[in-house]
Amino acid sequence: MNPALAKDPTALRVNLTAPTTAVRIGPFSFDGLKALLGVDLAEVLSPLMVAPKFQRSIPGGFIDVFPLAIPDGEGLSIPVKLLGGVGFWNMRGVLVLQVPPAAVDLVRAQLVTEIAAGEAAGPRHADNGAGGTVTEFAVRLRPGMRKAIPMGNFGELGVEAA
């Protein structure tokens, strides 16, 4: 966790929402998202987190919420096995989302109003820096803005302007 980022006036404040995929049975646990990514998401996000991860209920389950502050020019990209990668970065106050090519239609559907209004741009194909392909969308966040891709019984993957 990095509380110093909370004071950075150029940092984008967002809540990243992700499915809660950890299953615990007695002393054993399995985290499907960790298995997919190859690493615990909280560990990857910790340098950008300004508060601890928490859970929130949504219809049909729970999601993990990661409060982040993304400094100008910074972000992160996570290679995802067999899919390409996911990531985000702050480009002078605009949030750039990196999604696997398979998710382009889902993300475009979430941003159709913003793209039409000129508040978002994309898709644009790019390299994720690890030899994989991603598609980028740029979004100018508005206070209270929330965009999420539903993932059935697993919850959602989304971003909220904080």
Q: What is the pTM of this model?
A: 0.85
DSSP-derived secondary structure for 116-149: HTTSEEEEEEEE-SSS-EEEEEEE---TT-EEEE
Q: Determine the 3-state secondary structure of 57 from DSSP.
A: strand
What percent of the chain lies above the pLDDT cut of 70?
Answer: 86
Q: What is the pLDDT of residues 19-60, one digit of tens each?
A: 877 667 878 766 666 666 667 788 889 999 999 999 998 887
Give the residue, 41 or 66, on which the prediction is more confident.
Answer: 66
Q: How many CB atoms lie within 10 A of CB 129?
A: 12
Bridge partners for 99 per DSSP: 135
- pLDDT at position 129 is 66
Output the six-digit token pair for 139: 């979004």
What are the phi and psi torsion angles at 46 (to 5°)? -50, -35
Element (H, E) at 43: helix 41-45
CA–CA separation, 1 and 150 (whole Å)? 27
Q: Determine the 3-state secondary structure of 82 from DSSP.
A: coil
